Structure 1
Amino acid sequence: MAVKNFLKALSSNTAEEVGAGELKVVTTHDHAQRIEILDDFEQAGINWLWATDAEGRLIYLSEKAAENLDRPIDELLSQPLTAFFENDPDNPDEKSDRPLQFQLSKRSKIHDLVVRRIPKTMLSDDRPTWWTISAHPKFDEAGNFLGYRGNAKDVTLEYQRKLEDSRLAEFDSLTGLANRHRMNNQLNSLLSSFKAANRSCAIMMLDLDRFKQVNDTMGHPAGDELLKQVATRMRNIIGERGEIGRLGGDEFQIILPDIDDRGKLGEIADKIVKIVSQPYPIDDKSALIGTSIGIAIAPYDGVDKEELIRSSDLALYAAKNSGRGQFRFYSADLKDEEEERRQLVDDLRDALTNDQLDLHYQPVVRTDDHMVVGFEALMRWVHPERGVVSPGVFVPIAEELNLINQLGEWALRRACTDALNWPKSIRIAVNVSAVQFANSGFPEIVMNALAASGLEPERLELELTESVFMGDSETIDNTFKILKELGVRLALDDFGTGYSSLSYLRSAPFDKIKVDKSFVDSCTQKDKNSAKIIAAIVGLSDALGMETTVEGVEAFDQFTLVCSKGAKFIQGWIYSKALKLDEIEQKLGDGGFKIEPDGPELYRPDRRTVLRRIGAIHEDHRYDVMMRDLSKTGARFEGMLGVPIDTKLVLDLGAGQLVICKVNRSKEAMVAVEFETPLVSDGAGGLCTRHRVSPYDLAAAGMPLASLPPGNYPLANDASNPTSKPKFMQVALNGV
């Protein structure tokens, strides 16, 4: 009853006493007291009041609100509200992306809209401020809009907490990258919106090679610091082109909207591999890791999140199983590499037990007289079912399974025993992994191998890479000291591929530097500096009293160049590939081993011999042909007779890869063509087209459907696609 009386009193036109004269109620006519209450309300800071005119200009604002904005109230009045506030794009609760100006122009009610203060200048260091505003439009009796009347409140503290909670829910606390939850949401959102617009989206799946070794040898804090540095490097590479996420552990994902150019994607992936693989300074030490990358592109490799991620995972496993430190595009013929790898792990254990491994030896040859001065021992595994398994595949597996010490000791003992019967002038080189070298018992393993075989220490050469310098520096220095006291030789392999090589030469007692093959591959190209780098390495090595071996020489143009730069020792196919032990013993006989160089005149890095069935399309006819050679700029195939020079063709390389080309040579059934657009690397030693084309896009562009590969084309029987007689003869070939 008391509440009803109070409400009745508030609605009265006169001031009445409620109760026995104790309380005087303020009515709508008591203007002075109403203003006093309003002032008390505003001064308390519970809420602020504001009003605009019909043009959106502030005509009233509480003084406390002006103080909050740190501006004189005279500076604020008569200015548009939108001059000081805007929607916050990072608002975790704000679903509308419509700007504040638009919402005000609707002239409807606004309820608890979070807005962010605009800084005074672009260089302003004002503390961030957020308000919530509510308002209703005011109209006169004729319905004319007079402006807004509203209230506001500073919610900065609560809002910052909400932003932080939102950030923690979507971002990795260690690296600041997006987490798995955010990446999944982003990918789902992009794919659903891109599908309707026929837009593409690429994703890269990455994990770090040898990261576990950093954690084990340098500790988890070092591992955390390494992950942060990796995140920084990837941000610098990707920039605004996409979003990077850490999915957990050493697994990362990159989303790249609107990119389906496999040339560009390959360049990005290759740059990531190279930059991530450079040394990391951590606690006055140097950590070395690598990365492998799998790439999938929507809609070609999947149209939804699950399908696309599975495709990128398969590509990642293929990259890892092909030797690591590389990228790989998804292709439909990829098997479930994870299952394949699990089986390979079990098979490797059996191979060690059942003596399925072998050593082959590649000669190191003196250039002035072509005499063999040494051999490098290269591990070979011929699997009873899979055939030859590359060391680039099984050595990383051995490192992960802690089998590398057992595998390395076997190779060392076997190489020393085999080399014992060679002339004393010939040395044997054995590769040593970083995991082996970090083992405190490694010097003893070397001593035992020498003692068991009877090989002189100076005939044994241990090949090390920069990765051996990762870990405890005291242990590394002690190992180097013991090995030199034993009298064995030390060679730094893959020289020039890392940033810290010179410091290693200063601190470690190497006897030889091996110039990495990557410099030799490009040494004859005029737009590269590889020839100068080779000359500089040879000069540096001579100045330090070391030998230099140049690896990977395959052709005479390379041979001539590296010899002119001072190379005295070469290891490459121009002399010999790796040989079996019995082949070496036959050629050695009772004397020395001399090999005359033999190879192509010019090195052609992009030419690959292939034997693959493809399609050649001319006008509205498709011919089945057998491709023999493939390069970035052209191909050679057989299966068509009577094809004139300059004939335009489209080669169907499969999986939507269509290449426009022109015939530049034709003899009987053999045809050579030049591509209109060069191919790009597929990351697995092969080549692919930059773009893939949907058959439906081709049909829309006017290509006759009769010439397309077999498939389900709804318009294939359309009368508007007539066929003509073929102009060339199809030649039947074995296997076609």
Structure 2
Amino acid sequence: MPFSDFFKGKKDELESQSDAPTRVSLSALESGDKLAIVDEIERSGAIGFWATDTNGRVVYLSPAILDSLGKPFDRVVGQPLQQLLVPVEGEGDGRSLGLKLNTRKSFANLTVQSEDEGHDVVLKLTGRPLHDEDANFLGFRGSAVDVTEEFRSEQEANRLAKFDSLTGLANRHRMEQRIDSTLHTFRNAKRSAALMMLDLDKFKQVNDTLGHAAGDQLLQQVAERLRGVIGGRGEIGRLGGDEFQVLVPDMDDRGELGEIAKKIIQMLSQPYSVEEGRAIIGCSVGIAVAPYDGIEREELTRAADLALYASKNGGRGQFRFYAADLEHEANLRKRMEDDLAEAIEAGHFTLEYQPVVCLKDNRVVALEAQYCWADEDRGRVAPETFLPVAEGSRLIVPIGEWAIRKACEEALGWPESLRVSLHVSPVQFEANGFVECIEQALEETRLDPARLELRLPESVLLGDASKVDKALATLFKLGVRLTLDQFGSGLSSLAYLRRAPLSALRIGADFFEPVMGNDLGDMELVRAVIALSGAMGMETVASGVHALDLMQELKRLGVDQVSGFVYSEALTNEQVHEELAKGEWTLAPTDTGTQRATRRTVFRKIGLIHEDHYYDVTLRNLSRSGAMIQGLEDVPVGTMFVLDFGQGQLAVCSVRRTMDDTQGVEFEQELVDDGAGGLCTRHRVSPYELAAAGAPLTALPPGKYSMAPDSAASGSFAQFKLSGNAPSQTGAKEAA
């Protein structure tokens, strides 16, 4: 029904162009010229018309509007207009059409769309209330303009301005806006937010070998995997190239953040299928948390960038939390890289060997080679200190080549029943000429290949499938023994175990770190690994075993071989020869080892808070569940302390054993991984609490902190104050 016919049937109704109540004008209704114009406009589709009764139910819709909605007039007449047309999210004042109609006031340019998603139509509605001569409300009359094409074009332009066109993730501009608005809002509400910086490892190789189209497909799959990990917990952005960013609101638990980072690294390191073939990449993650590491976007982003840089330099495929000493650490790392390069030329590296013992008869069956670096200035440098630097700088390749030749040479002087075992870095394995290096070392030394064992980390198996399979097949044909190292701590699929020619699965020390209520570690997982290796015809080797009760439990479960302090520490080649000279080499386990959680020897000054006193003590070693401290005399067992590790890291603990000036303490809440092989507290002193105590609201300074009275005894981390003998904020920053 055309609009003119509708008006002829409603001679007592006409929409006025003024805000005053509409008065019926018969002369207007009888004006054929005006109705003809209305008919022409309606038929052209440029403008549609609509009308409702006093209850907001449809009494008229132009045919063009009905066509765009995909509904005949008899299906819409009598239906509430607000059920057919709904406001577009983010447009106007956000109020519904129903509310507009209920106010009985004129409105203009309300953007609405069809409630049926199957019909994409966007209209701008204008409407005015209609009244009779007695000012009685008769309903609404109005017009509608179809702006679908213009609206969707503008919507797409806005989307492109805020989102990455390739992945659909937020772009750099939107992420900056989100971080700014989140930090501003959260600062007022005293809430926290975490920022993760992600960088893809080996992505350039994908572009170089498979082409940019494959790289684009891979980036799209990366975005999907990130959405799967993060879900609705935060916003994901692509900053450009292979750089990504994740903003996680209301998150300051570094235990949870570390688990999220591990999951991201794990998921992004799984193989990708693209049209040009199969691709493997990795991921490094840096994490900063507001307000602890920054309260403005620039400083929080810089902190996350520094943490990312540290994770990449640590060997890639890692995560790191921001710490105030990362800039200093970067300088030390550069110096160590230079010194490592010189040490290779100067021959400052040696090998030591830790015995691997068969649990059936305590016979030594292999020796695990360990790197030793004796530096003129640093003294003896632990492998866990310099090997990550060597991997990050690729110096591990020449160091590894030297170690393979050296180990083969020294193994020639041992009995033929004794194997030599070497860990192979992923960087080393992927380097050109690795297999040739093994072949050359065996040929030059004439060592029986069966006596050379290469321990491969799980990440090696996730490399280019054809290259990995070819290398493993060549090594297997040589007769070299291949073992999967640190099984269960990495990313490999069980399918690789069937495909790769492996002789043994090696369980790392991480399995034996105590979990709450179990001092031996995760024995259920150990049992599962033993069953798996047995089903596949492989041996099981456990490393890092330092306690007699753990060794006995592993023997009961069926582990074949063990290495660790429960049998012997690492020996020089000269000491190995001394043991061999005694005849058949067997080792009896000892109970001098202690498992607890794996101890990290640290020797550094920390703070100790007891009641209202703050003491400086020496941290001797550290584990997830406890530590050894030195510096206080005759402390009773059961005494509760708070240890201040610096930068707001406070840990409630109790004394479990004491001897003279040394105490062993147990933490009330276990420490968590810091991503760099170290440990950190889950939570830190809140800068909001410091601000409440009178300190300025800034990122955490490196000064000393103490807990409010009575909070230590309760284990509460809700209240803190600056220590009375703590340096001032200015002094703390200068000291840093």
Task: Give the TM-score taking structure 2 as reference length.
Answer: 0.78
Instruction: Specify the alignment match of 2:112 in structure 1.
Output: 115
> Do the aligned residues in 2 keep the contact of 1:608 with 1:629 (CA within 8 Å)?
yes
Residues 574/68 of structure 1: CA separation in 2 closer, same or farther (3 Å cut): same
Equivalent position SS for 2:554: helix
Taking the aligned partners of 1:375 and 1:675, their CA distance within structure 2 comes to: 36
> Do the aligned residues in 2 keep the contact of 1:179 with 1:245 (CA within 8 Å)?
yes
Asked whether 1:687 is paired with 2:692, we answer: no
Matching residue within 230, 240, 244 for 2:232 = 240
> Do the aligned residues in 2 keep the contact of 1:614 with 1:627 (CA within 8 Å)?
no
* Shift of residue 455, structure 1, vs aligned partner: 2.3
- The residue correspondences of 1:435-454 to structure 2 (distance < 5 A) are 436-437=428-429, 441-454=433-446
Instruction: Specify the alignment match of 2:172 in structure 1.
Output: 180
Matching residue within 223, 241, 248 for 1:249 = 241
> Do the aligned residues in 1 keep the contact of 2:542 with 2:561 (CA within 8 Å)?
yes
Instruction: Specify the alignment match of 2:563 in structure 1.
Output: 571
Residues 638/448 of structure 1: CA separation in 2 closer, same or farther (3 Å cut): closer
Taking the aligned partners of 1:167 and 1:151, their CA distance within structure 2 comes to: 29
Asked whether 1:200 is paired with 2:192, we answer: yes
Equivalent position SS for 1:240: coil
Residues 575/99 of structure 1: CA separation in 2 closer, same or farther (3 Å cut): farther
Equivalent position SS for 1:252: strand
Equivalent position SS for 1:66: helix
Query: Which has the larger displacement, 222-231 or 151-160?
Result: 222-231
* Shift of residue 307, structure 1, vs aligned partner: 0.3
Matching residue within 529, 532, 539 for 1:534 = 529
Residue type of the alignment partner of 1:686: L
Instruction: Specify the alignment match of 2:13 in structure 1.
Output: none
> Do the aligned residues in 2 keep the contact of 1:175 with 1:227 (CA within 8 Å)?
yes
> Do the aligned residues in 1 keep the contact of 2:484 with 2:506 (CA within 8 Å)?
yes
> Do the aligned residues in 2 keep the contact of 1:322 with 1:393 (CA within 8 Å)?
no
Q: CA RMSD in A?
A: 4.2
> Do the aligned residues in 2 keep the contact of 1:323 with 1:392 (CA within 8 Å)?
no
* Shift of residue 316, structure 1, vs aligned partner: 2.3
Equivalent position SS for 1:199: coil
Residue type of the alignment partner of 1:710: A
Instruction: Specify the alignment match of 1:84 in structure 2.
Output: 84
Asked whether 1:616 is paired with 2:632, we answer: no
Structure 1, unmatched stretches of 5+, are 1-26, 120-124, 715-736
* Shift of residue 306, structure 1, vs aligned partner: 0.7
* Shift of residue 516, structure 1, vs aligned partner: 4.0
> Share of identical aligned residues, percent?
44
* Shift of residue 68, structure 1, vs aligned partner: 1.3
Matching residue within 458, 479, 482 for 1:487 = 479
Instruction: Specify the alignment match of 1:729 in structure 2.
Output: none
Residues 711/174 of structure 1: CA separation in 2 closer, same or farther (3 Å cut): same
Residues 72/342 of structure 1: CA separation in 2 closer, same or farther (3 Å cut): farther
Residues 606/587 of structure 1: CA separation in 2 closer, same or farther (3 Å cut): closer
Matching residue within 494, 505, 510 for 1:513 = 505
Query: Which has the larger displacement, 380-389 or 179-188?
Result: 380-389
Deviations 1:604-648 (A, max 9, x none): 127666653214142x55455555565556666566679777776
- The residue correspondences of 1:38-53 to structure 2 (distance < 5 A) are 38-52=38-52
Asked whether 1:230 is paired with 2:225, we answer: no
> Do the aligned residues in 2 keep the contact of 1:116 with 1:129 (CA within 8 Å)?
yes
* Shift of residue 688, structure 1, vs aligned partner: 0.7
Task: Give the TM-score taking structure 1 as reference length.
Answer: 0.78
Residue type of the alignment partner of 1:530: L
- The residue correspondences of 1:136-215 to structure 2 (distance < 5 A) are 149-212=141-204
Equivalent position SS for 2:327: coil
Taking the aligned partners of 1:702 and 1:360, their CA distance within structure 2 comes to: 49
Residue type of the alignment partner of 1:85: L
Asked whether 1:419 is paired with 2:389, we answer: no
Asked whether 1:266 is paired with 2:258, we answer: yes
> Do the aligned residues in 1 keep the contact of 2:60 with 2:77 (CA within 8 Å)?
yes
> Do the aligned residues in 2 keep the contact of 1:423 with 1:592 (CA within 8 Å)?
no
> Do the aligned residues in 2 keep the contact of 1:534 with 1:565 (CA within 8 Å)?
no
- The residue correspondences of 1:572-611 to structure 2 (distance < 5 A) are 572-589=564-581, 591-598=583-590, 603-605=595-597, 611=604
Instruction: Specify the alignment match of 1:727 in structure 2.
Output: none
> Do the aligned residues in 2 keep the contact of 1:429 with 1:463 (CA within 8 Å)?
yes
Residues 506/677 of structure 1: CA separation in 2 closer, same or farther (3 Å cut): closer
Instruction: Specify the alignment match of 1:292 in structure 2.
Output: 284
> Do the aligned residues in 2 keep the contact of 1:323 with 1:391 (CA within 8 Å)?
no
> Do the aligned residues in 1 keep the contact of 2:210 with 2:276 (CA within 8 Å)?
no
* Shift of residue 187, structure 1, vs aligned partner: 0.6
Instruction: Specify the alignment match of 1:724 in structure 2.
Output: none
Equivalent position SS for 1:446: helix
Instruction: Specify the alignment match of 1:62 in structure 2.
Output: 62
Asked whether 1:458 is paired with 2:450, we answer: yes
* Shift of residue 708, structure 1, vs aligned partner: 5.3
Matching residue within 291, 301, 306 for 1:309 = 301
> Do the aligned residues in 2 keep the contact of 1:625 with 1:640 (CA within 8 Å)?
yes
Deviations 1:434-485 (A, max 9, x none): 5554567444332322232232333222333444445665554544444344
Asked whether 1:428 is paired with 2:423, we answer: no
* Shift of residue 194, structure 1, vs aligned partner: 1.8
Equivalent position SS for 2:590: coil
Instruction: Specify the alignment match of 1:554 in structure 2.
Output: 546
Residues 568/679 of structure 1: CA separation in 2 closer, same or farther (3 Å cut): closer
Instruction: Specify the alignment match of 1:14 in structure 2.
Output: none
Residue type of the alignment partner of 1:33: D
Taking the aligned partners of 2:218 and 2:41, their CA distance within structure 1 comes to: 55
Taking the aligned partners of 2:643 and 2:398, their CA distance within structure 1 comes to: 49
Equivalent position SS for 2:231: helix
> Do the aligned residues in 2 keep the contact of 1:531 with 1:561 (CA within 8 Å)?
no
Asked whether 1:710 is paired with 2:705, we answer: no
Residues 311/424 of structure 1: CA separation in 2 closer, same or farther (3 Å cut): same
Residue type of the alignment partner of 1:231: A
> Do the aligned residues in 2 keep the contact of 1:279 with 1:500 (CA within 8 Å)?
no
Deviations 1:291-331 (A, max 9, x none): 33222111111011110011112222333344444433222
* Shift of residue 267, structure 1, vs aligned partner: 3.0
Query: Which has the larger displacement, 580-589 or 209-218?
Result: 209-218
Query: Which has the larger displacement, 132-141 or 37-46?
Result: 132-141
Taking the aligned partners of 2:428 and 2:628, their CA distance within structure 1 comes to: 46
> Do the aligned residues in 2 keep the contact of 1:645 with 1:665 (CA within 8 Å)?
yes
Taking the aligned partners of 2:194 and 2:29, their CA distance within structure 1 comes to: 69
* Shift of residue 230, structure 1, vs aligned partner: 3.1
Query: Which has the larger displacement, 200-209 or 267-276?
Result: 267-276
Deviations 1:541-592 (A, max 9, x none): 5xx3x44422222222221122223323223332334433344344444755
Taking the aligned partners of 2:191 and 2:265, their CA distance within structure 1 comes to: 27
Residue type of the alignment partner of 2:486: D
Residue type of the alignment partner of 2:560: K
Taking the aligned partners of 1:164 and 1:593, their CA distance within structure 2 comes to: 75
Taking the aligned partners of 2:555 and 2:278, their CA distance within structure 1 comes to: 34
Residue type of the alignment partner of 1:616: I
Equivalent position SS for 2:326: coil
Residues 677/500 of structure 1: CA separation in 2 closer, same or farther (3 Å cut): closer
* Shift of residue 34, structure 1, vs aligned partner: 1.8
Taking the aligned partners of 1:384 and 1:97, their CA distance within structure 2 comes to: 71
> Do the aligned residues in 1 keep the contact of 2:278 with 2:464 (CA within 8 Å)?
no
Asked whether 1:378 is paired with 2:375, we answer: no
Residues 678/363 of structure 1: CA separation in 2 closer, same or farther (3 Å cut): closer
Instruction: Specify the alignment match of 2:18 in structure 1.
Output: none
How many residue pairs match? The answer is 676
